[in-house]
Amino acid sequence: MNLQSAPRIILHKPQLGENIGSVARVMLNFGISELRLVAPRDGWPNPAALPLSAGAFDSGLRVEVFENIEAAIGDLKTVIAATARPRGMEKIVEDAAGAADAAARAPSDTGIIFGSESSGLPSEVVGLADIIMTYPVNPDFASLNLAQAVGVFCASWGALQGRQGRFEGTNEGVGELAPRSDLIRMFEHLEDELERAGYFYPADKTKLMKTNIRNGFIRGNWTVQEVRTFRGAIKVLALGRGKARVKP
């Protein structure tokens, strides 16, 4: 197993400690050792997670807790969202095997986001992902337990590692990919200026319009330098023509 390149599993607003424990167990079964929790309903640590973890928390699985999804994915370069529906977004859609392959071939720092037991992932979280992962489940009975959903991906990851051994993801000829935190700051910078210019109208469409803008940018696989250059362009446009230049 190539533990160093294994993706992070991210649970967005998980509810039951038992499910978190089961997720930890199946992750470590297949060589994935980093679990991130975003605003777990019952807090963390949660004693209800221990019995179903089968000792995973004492066997090398690491847990980090974040207040929001932006913080949880801020250092990542590639993000995959598990959802049953593409939701009309123009994104790459993969099954579990395809998502595992994408994670293995990514240059570094990949995360797989799973939604809460009751409602899955909201569209604004899916909008921050590069790839959508969905499973070919029975359309008449499509509901998967959270740990089962994570387990399907983990099994695909383990099978891929077993077949092909260690992947050395490359990004030859291209600058370093920007971490998601840089992209989010760029989005917020652009959105602030668009807000000042009165672009978001009518108001009830603002969230959808922002998601659509972010989707388009995320497909570009922006590098660190590209983000800096574009933010410099936003600053100059905000100042207006004929103003002094500013550093990106």
CA pair distance 72, 8, nearest whole angstrom = 10
- Same-domain status, 110 and 19: yes
Look at residue 86 in the predicted model and tell me its pLDDT. Answer: 67
Do residues 189 and 145 touch, judged by C-beta distance below 8 A?
Answer: no
Distance CA 17, CA 65 (A): 14
pLDDT of residue 194: 92
37 and 155 inside one domain: yes
The token pair that represents 227 in the structure block? 């983000």
In this structure, are 188 and 159 located in the same domain? no
117 and 210 part of one domain: no
- Quote the domain boundaries for residue 83: 3-164
Is residue 153 in a domain? yes
CA–CA gap between residue 26 and residue 207 (Å, rounded): 35
Domain identity same for 86 and 201? no
**142-193, pLDDT tens digit by residue?**
889 999 999 999 999 999 888 755 434 444 455 788 899 999 999 999 999 9
Residue 157's nearest CA partner among 188, 189, 133 is 133
My answer on whether 38 and 159 are in the same domain is yes
Q: Does residue 85 fall inside a structural domain?
A: yes
Q: By three-state DSSP, how is residue 37 classified?
A: strand
Judge if 67 and 146 occupy the same domain: yes
The percent helix, strand, coil of the chain (3-state, each to 5) is 45, 15, 40
pLDDT at 164: 59
Under DSSP, the state recorded for 213 is H
Residue 169 lies in a domain: no
Give every CB contact of residue 62 below 8 A, 6+ residues apart in sequence. 33, 34, 35
Angstrom distance (rounded) from CA 75 to CA 61: 19
Does residue 171 belong to any structural domain of this protein? Answer: no
3-class DSSP state for residue 158? helix
**147: which 2 tokens?**
């740990």
Given a cut of 70, the residues of the chain with pLDDT beneath it are 1-4, 86-87, 164-174, 241-248
The verdict on 201 and 133 lying in the same domain is: no
Question: Looking at residue 4, what is its pLDDT?
Answer: 43
Q: Determine the pLDDT at residue 243.
A: 53
Number of domains in the chain: 2
Side-chain-side CA neighbours of 115 within 13 Å: the count stands at 21
Tell me what pLDDT residue 248 has. Answer: 47
Q: What are the C-alpha distances in Å from 102 to residues 91, 111, 133, 141?
A: 13, 11, 10, 28
